[in-house]
Amino acid sequence: MKEFVDIEISGAHLRYDENDPIAVNISGNHYVDGDTHKITYVEEAQGFDEIILNTIIVKKNRVEIIKEGVVNSKMVFANNSRFKVTYDTPFGRLNMETETKLLLIDMNKDEINIYIEYILYIEGDRASNSKMRIHIVEAVDRVDNKGG
Would residue 146 count as lying in a domain?
no
> Residue 148 — very low, low, confident or very high, per pLDDT cuts 50/70/90?
very low
Average pLDDT for the chain? 89
Q: Is residue 148 part of a domain?
A: no
On whether residue 145 sits in a domain, the answer given is: no
Domain membership of residue 11 (yes or no) is yes
- For residue 34, the domain's CATH number is 2.40.128.20
Do 55 and 37 meet the contact criterion of CB atoms below 8 Å apart? no
Which domain covers residue 15, as residue numbers?
1-136
- Phi, psi for 142 (deg, rounded to 5): -125, 135
Question: Which residues pair with residue 28 across a beta bridge?
Answer: 5
Whether residue 142 lies inside any domain: the answer is no
Q: Look at residue 21 and tell me whether its pLDDT is greater than 80.
A: no
Residue 141 has a pLDDT of 67
∠ at Cα 100 (86, 31), nearest 5°?
75
Domain-located, residue 29: yes
Q: At a CB cut-off of 8 Å and minimum separation 6, what does 77 contact?
A: 62, 63, 64, 65, 83, 98, 100, 103, 116, 118
- Dihedral sign from CA coordinates of 11, 24, 75, 84: negative
Is pTM, for the whole model, over 0.85? Answer: yes
E-strand stretches of 2-147:
4-15, 18-33, 36-44, 51-59, 62-69, 73-77, 82-89, 92-107, 111-122, 125-138
| Within-domain flag for 30 | yes
Q: Residue 145 above 60 pLDDT?
A: no
Q: Is residue 46 part of a domain?
A: yes
Number of domains in the chain: 1
